[in-house]
Amino acid sequence: MRLSMSEYQQDFESIIVKYRLSLFKVAATFEADPVIQQDLLQEIFLAIWQALASFKEQSSLHTFIYRVAYNQALTHVTKQSRKQNYDELTENIECQHSDIESNVSATKSVEYLIRKIGLLPVIERQLVVLSLEGISYNDMAEISGLSVTNVGVQLNRAKTKLKKLLERKS
């Protein structure tokens, strides 16, 4: 049984509860600073709330939620890059990464992986996270706006880069 748009909005809380961890991962891969991650997560929640009225069920709710989240994260990154130049942003991420990496323990390996993913270009970050979430290539293509073939190519390149990043100790 399909829900109407108003029912989706009424059921917003349960949607957020269901997808909260996945949405947090999206925010964490786009922002290194925990405070800004929380701000981004709130922006994503708001974007989902606003977008639910336009959900036409042409895809699954799951795919729709991811698409809204990634679009909001990309918008956020674009805004942030206008505030700082690219070099300053890269230095800040690397400094934060170095501080965190020095304190990484076995129990924080997921955080370490997320930090490394954060060093990838935006589209590659998106595809790696979607892949880790078990999203199909077809759904990744729909979410990212790429062709299914391009998703495969980009994802393989991203995995190669991520492997090199994980092998480095810096």
* Whether 31 contacts 76, CB under 8 Å: yes
**127-160 per-position pLDDT tens digit:** 888 888 888 899 888 888 889 999 999 999 998 9
Question: What is the pLDDT, as a whole number, of residue 157?
Answer: 92
Nearest alpha carbon to residue 130 among 109, 151, 157: 151
**108-130 per-position pLDDT tens digit:** 566 777 788 888 888 888 888 88
Rg (CA), the chain: 17
Tokens representing 21?
């961890």
Question: What is the pLDDT, as a whole number, of residue 10?
Answer: 65
**64-86 per-position pLDDT tens digit:** 898 899 888 888 877 766 555 44
Mean pLDDT, range 38-46, rounded to an integer: 92
Q: What percent of the chain has pLDDT over 90?
A: 14
